[in-house]
Structure 1
Amino acid sequence: MRWPRTRLAPRGWEVRVTLRETQRRFWEAITFPTGVGPYLEHLDPQAREAFVAGFAETEGFSRIDRVDVYAESYFWRQHGVLAEAFSLLAWLVGPARFQNLCTDYVLACPSKGPDLAEIGAGLPRFVATHPLGRATPGLAEVAALERAEAESFRAADVPAFHVQSLQAISPERWPGLRLELSPAVRRVVTSVDFAVVTQRRQAGEAAPGELPRRPDQHGMLVSRQGYAPKSRPIARDEWEALDAVAGHATFAEVCRTIAGEVPEQRAAQWLLRWTQGGVVAGVVG
């Protein structure tokens, strides 16, 4: 059995410090909004003595400075991950405002696990209510698409479904078939014209103050072939057809969701594109 270690506080008191308490104080210190020094100032005297007893210092390198090293690393590591995962959002708002956004987000939504890829899971919702997102409509949609692409990249692999497999299905079976979507498929409701935004970024132009929109676009469809997620705009009718597919509707039921003439022909065209784009993983029935 190992007893909690005892260290002498500056005034000669013996303070017993457990590992659990030391870890808790360390976490509180590195995540305190204004730094380790202000964190110590807000503690009561007994808690401050426990902190002092739990962390060593040397001449020229105080315990506050030591813990500050970890506090800085804690933020900048997460900032780097977010900047890579949300590079389009970072470009749109600029380095300084993106850094401030990350600071606000990390403080409001601290990491709850060791997986760095999950740090940005809540950023789209956070941007939607953040002053930056309210000032520039569409930023939350940009964050949502970038998050959807990250999730698509990490989704489970499934065997490729080829057009030849569709061609082998007899016509009389089609009405009762049910399509299976790939685990990598994601959809984001947005009318932001990402093609225009991406072209401006690649051309080295300044980020637009107002995001361009496409009136005919209901959302973005994200899929993956191999290791590369890709996204494309889709209109409301295709979105609703995919809703039906996701709800395990038969091919005949999917066709009934499509307005206009020859819905079977339009559904067949979508099915071909879905198959070629890695949206459909297979058929059942």
Structure 2
Amino acid sequence: MQNHTRILEFLFLGLSDDPEQQQFFFRLFLGMYLIGTLGNLLTILAIGFDSRLHSPMYFFLSNLSFLDLCFTSTTVPKMLVNYLLESNAISYPECLAQMYFINAFGASDSILLSTMAYDRYLAVCYPLHYGTVMTSHLCALLVAVPWVFAHLIAMVHSIFIDQLSFCTNNKIPHFFCDINTLIKLSCSDTHINEMLVLFLGGPVVLIPFICIVISYTPIVSAVWKVPSVQGKWKAFSTCGSHLSVVTLFYGTVIGVYFNPTSTHTSHKDMIATVMYTVVTPTLNPFIYSLRNNDLKGALWKLLGLKRFFKR
């Protein structure tokens, strides 16, 4: 195939060109990455080693932690290395690969969040039928489908981006290879790429979000009917943790990619991007574990500190 790319590498403009601010961002993102990585790894290990947590809800949670771990590892390490080496360069193949995995893990994350909402809907609204409906085969299918579907979407985007020409401008006004930013840098016709972002990216974000809203409407109604105030509060706090993650993730994604006024390169858009690529994956394990006594007990047991944990 003919190589349409004249540029061999791109240059990230990053979040700031001020050296002092860059040092601040380096410490901030390094700390968040280490905390998020540790939190997600501990969640996966705790669920894997504790047989009491081998249930659909925790199976989905461990997959979410793995996805979050992969998602942040796609962007943050490269940004940290660039800060250390004082080099903002990324080769064209690396940029294409980074864009592929960002799209794949982001789409998988979006679909999996709706799967978790469906699981909670069955558990709360149909508890007697939950065990017969949510079988191990269905759980595996509900996890495999997002992975396959998301990677197919990412592959289509990567193939069509690779057909574009990049002539003279190789400066990416971002801290990673964002698909919309690359489309804007191209000096060839990008109408097909822009349509693909809407027709492939739109359903991956909007359909799961709508499914989550539909799933949580009867859940809230069922929880409201719980006679015990303590039981009602416990159920609302558990649902609220999931909804807070959903709101933060989908709110920032929709604001960046489906807002007509978005430039994809403004300071406000980059902050929103940091929220769903770094902040949300970092917070997920703590939001879910801090409100779950069974998971907290498994974590303390894994760390050998079970005697300090009281239910």
* TM-score of Structure 1 vs Structure 2, range by shorter chain: under 0.3
TM-score by length of 1: 0.27
Tell which has more relative contact order, 1 or 2 (C-alpha 8 A, sep 6+). 2
Larger Rg: 1
Query: Which structure shows the higher strand fraction?
Result: 1
TM-score by length of 2: 0.25
Query: Which structure shows the higher helix fraction?
Result: 2
